[in-house]
Structure 1
Amino acid sequence: MSERILNDDGLDLLFREARTHKGWQDREVSDVLLQAIYDLAKWPPTSANCQPMRVVFAKSQDAKEKLRPALMPGNVDKTMAAPVCAIVAHDLEFHEKLPELFSQADARSWFAGKPDAIQENAFRNGSLQGGYFMLAARSLGLDVGPMSGFDKDKVNQAFFPEGKWQVNFLCNLGYGDPAKLPPRDKRLSFEEACEIQ
């Protein structure tokens, strides 16, 4: 099998030229496109194929107003202006689906009745999937604006009152306005961030 490597255009789209957007163009994001994002993001790996990420797409004005009281002041205007705000959560009952998702072993028994293991794995693997989700959105031509500036208890009460899902982070989606981007901040060098041992 030959090596398959993204060309520079693909790498620029996903990484080098992609930015975190706070200003948005007045362009709709279709429901079909939102489904396509998930249909890409579901494929990369998670531990024992557990797939705990769950997403609520706050697209309607009613859904955004429900989200508003949980947002820090600096995140209100950009979230209200974004075509969609994805509430990226994880399912604390993800292990109930393991018999169909991971047939190699009785993986459900690794988690059933073990709340600490459930929480740790749901959060870790849900975070992995959240990263895949943002790359999927970028690969389909959208810009992303992830945020952690919100009251998680208020989001959980408003959107997940049964307690089965818990919010991880919020991510605005749409077509960013490049005119509203500040200069790009530096990134750490390989030498600052990595070691080869």
Structure 2
Amino acid sequence: MALVLDPTAQDLLFREARTANSFTDEPVTEEQVQAIYDLVKYGPTAYNQSPLRVTLLRSPEARERLVAHMAGPNQPKTRTAPLTAILSAETDFHERLPELFPQVPQLKDAVFGDPSARESAGTFNAALQAGYFIVGIRAAGLAAGPMTGFDAAGLNKEFFADSGQRALMVVNIGKPGPDAYRPRNPRLAFEDAVTTL
């Protein structure tokens, strides 16, 4: 068998998992979100940097502030999902590197001294972490509805004006509701995506 992970777990994380567009009203607990984060924080990133920030919107007031910046089709599902998270990249993540990576304190300035390179690295690695976060949601037996259809400038001003965070995506989280899934679109076959030299 080529994969060590059992077929049920493979289906849960990948084959049967899809982007959910509707959810039941069953709440998503703080304990579930913490368990998800505590699992996926170990996903690999360059230099073990951790630029991903997760902003959970639980109150109706916070949710409405977000809905105002979502694209039209994304507004109703964002308004009614049990939990919505804004996943963002922290542009000043390098300030935590000596704490997280104490054996090479000079890394902070040597690698991340250039603001442009730092922002690029932070965005890339936060996007990796966002992918792990979505798989972690699936591992918790929940469904994820990741979306990039929003006014990024407006959302950043609304939620992150006084910070170095920049929104990457919005993710609705919960148990899938009726007709939650659209038909699965095809994926490239191995021979179309993989080249051996």
TM range (shorter): over 0.9
- Could you tell me which residue of structure 2 aligns to residue 103 of structure 1? 102
Q: Does 1:138 align with 2:138?
A: yes
- Structure 1 residues 112, 47: CA separation in 2 closer, same or farther (over 3 Å shift)? closer
Q: Quick one: percent identity of the two aligned structures?
A: 39
User: What 5-or-longer segments of structure 2 have no aligned partner?
Assistant: none
Unaligned segments of structure 1, at least 5 residues: none
Contact 1:22–1:180 (CA under 8 A) maintained in structure 2? yes
- Per-residue deviation at 1:163? 3.5
The answer for the alignment partner of 2:179 in structure 1 is: 179
Q: Residues 145-160 of structure 1: matches in 2 within 5 Å?
A: 145-160=145-160
Cα distance in 2 for partners of 1:36, 1:78 equals 24
Partner of 1:124: 124
Cα distance in 1 for residues equivalent to 2:113 and 2:185: 45
> Structure 1 pair 4/80, CA: closer, same or farther in 2 (3 Å)?
same
CA-atom RMSD, angstroms? 1.6
Whether the 8 Å contact between 1:20 and 1:145 is mirrored in structure 2 is: yes
1:103 partner letter: P
In structure 2, what is the Cα distance between the partners aligned to 1:196 and 1:160?
44
For 2:107, give the aligned amino acid: A
Aligned residues of 1:156 and 1:163 also touching (Cα < 8 A): no
CA distance, structure 2, for counterparts of residue 78 and residue 133 of structure 1: 20
* Aligned counterparts of 1:11 and 1:4: Cα–Cα separation in 2: 9
* Cα drift, residue 40 of structure 1: 1.1
CA distance in 2, matches of 1:193, 1:63: 41
Aligned residues: 195
SS at match of 1:180: coil
For 2:144 and 2:32, the matched residues in 1 are separated by: 14
**CA–CA distance in 2 between the matches of 1:194 and 1:8?**
23
Instruction: Report the residue type matching 2:13 in the other structure.
Output: L
Alignment of 1:34-183 (within 5 A): 34-105=33-104, 106-183=106-183
Q: CA deviation at 1:119?
A: 0.8
CA distance in 2, matches of 1:41, 1:51: 11
Counterpart residue type for residue 192 of structure 1: D
- Tell me the TM-score normalised to structure 1 length: 0.94
